[in-house]
Amino acid sequence: LVSRKKKPEDTIVDIKGDRIGDGNPHFVMGPCAVESYEQVSQVAEAVKKQGIKLLRGGAFKPRTSPYDFQGLGLEGLKILKEAADEHDLAVVSEIVNPADIEKAVDYLDVIQIGARNMQNFELLKAAGSVNKPVLLKRGLSATISEFINAAEYIISRGNENIILCERGIRTYEKATRNTLDISAVPILKQETHLPVLVDVTHSTGRRDLLLPTAKAALAVGADGVMAEVHPDPAVALSDSAQQMDIPTFENFMAELKKQ
């Protein structure tokens, strides 16, 4: 059902009027994790100033180490929604447990399924059964075909509002945190009718590569870019090395608008 052969025209995912897949670039920006109201609200204000509609922030954080910050959970989602409402933004946040979807849908506009859960089939089915857009990230070691099949799980349950997100894959290369598979973008656009985003933060893991990879993503036809923004990345509880501070984010957007 996600195949272009089944549906030749592009799917546009409408999130509070932000139409992902309409041919214009869209942005999903915000901190790696929700840490406090103060933190999120500063970012929300900066995001709004750029004319961006989608505010991200992790409340349920699937961390590689059990000893790392795990997120504020439902409390984090409530904080994110409060800050988003104040600036008329839409909330994008990851859900890791199918049992959380029902209570989380009141606080978010887009359900994010993270790389580590791309093949959590119960989660995919649960996200496919609700009336909320889903942002599905490519698994750490998933082929494009496995990625497309994960989206198929969601759409097969009735939910067609799916946004795919390339976020880098595991390779032998150590210069970046993951290897951004830029060619996945045109392949996904050719093979499916779904919109495609590129997450430049988690693919590169390097602040100095965010702008050039975002330019590359838009140049190859991505429908938008995701990146992380934090008021003070040095003290961030997660992904401190690659989040942008607000002036860097403003410069990032200004440079992309020059394209």
To ligand PEP, the closest distance from the beta carbon of 100 in angstroms equals 15
CB 154 within 8 A of CB 134: yes
C-beta closer to ligand PEP: residue 18 or 166: 166
* C-alpha 166 chain-centroid distance: 9
C-beta closer to ligand PEP: residue 3 or 119: 119
Bridge partners of 111?
Answer: 93, 134
Rounded to the nearest 5 degrees, what angle is found at the Cα of 202, between the Cα atoms of 159 and 104? 40
Name, in order, each residue with C-beta under 8 angstroms of 130's C-beta and a sequence gap of 6 or more.
101, 102, 105, 111, 159
Closest CA to 111 of 72, 59, 70: 59
Which listed range, 2-10, 78-86, 114-122, 152-160, lies at the site for ligand PEP (CB under 6 A)? Answer: 114-122
Closest CA to 43 of 4, 14, 84: 84
Give the residue, chosen from 32, 113, 144, 151, that forms a contact with Mn ion under the rule CB under 5 A: 32
When CB distances are held under 5 to 8 angstroms depending on the partner's kind, the choice from Mn ion, ligand PEP, none that residue 48 binds is none
Does position 81 interact with ligand PEP (CB under 6 A)? The reply is no
Give the residue, chosen from 115, 134, 142, 198, that forms a contact with ligand PEP under the rule CB under 6 A: 115
To ligand PEP, the closest distance from the beta carbon of 117 in angstroms equals 8
- Binding to ligand PEP (CB under 6 A) within 146-175 occurs at 167
Rounded to the nearest 5°, which phi and psi values hold at 215? -60, -45
Tokens of 145: 């075909």
- Binding to ligand PEP (CB under 6 A) within 183-202 occurs at 199, 202
- Binding to ligand PEP (CB under 6 A) within 215-254 occurs at none
List interacting residues with Mn ion (CB under 5 A): 32, 239
List interacting residues with ligand PEP (CB under 6 A): 32, 58, 94, 114-116, 137, 167, 199, 202
